[in-house]
Structure 1
Amino acid sequence: MATKAEITPRDLPTKVIQLADGSVIRKKVVQADGPNFALELQAAFRSNVRRIRTEQRKRARTAPQPA
């Protein structure tokens, strides 16, 4: 049985955008008309979920604990 090629978030190019207030945003770039659109979109989604969960854990550790 043939398995489909795995595309990881590392395989996707990253676009760096600087906002007017000086903050920087990094985004994964997905080719909408590419042959691997679904796999690229899934890889970008996994990357976003991993980043958000990491931020949430970090905030939960630094939040004051109720007594």
Structure 2
Amino acid sequence: QVAEVFCQMAEMSCQLAEMSCQLAEMFCHVAEMFCHVVEVSCQLAEMLCHVGKLYCQPPTANCQLSLRTF
């Protein structure tokens, strides 16, 4: 009888471990998605920065030109 109780306890702890594993996986997935979004927005910001730098070299001529075209 004692062995049975131990067995049940072991089973329960196994199920708990499985559940926590699944939770951890879900968290991981969500974190990955956030990471991806941040990466993309970072790349976009970098591109914008690059474009801005291109427009402003030499500063006055290009910036005035771009202002006229827009």
- Report TM bin, short chain: 0.3 to 0.5
Instruction: Mark the structure with the bigger radius of gyration.
Output: 2
How high is the TM-score relative to the length of structure 2?
0.43
- Greater per-residue strand proportion: 1
**Greater relative contact order (Cα 8 A, min sep 6): structure 1 or 2?**
1
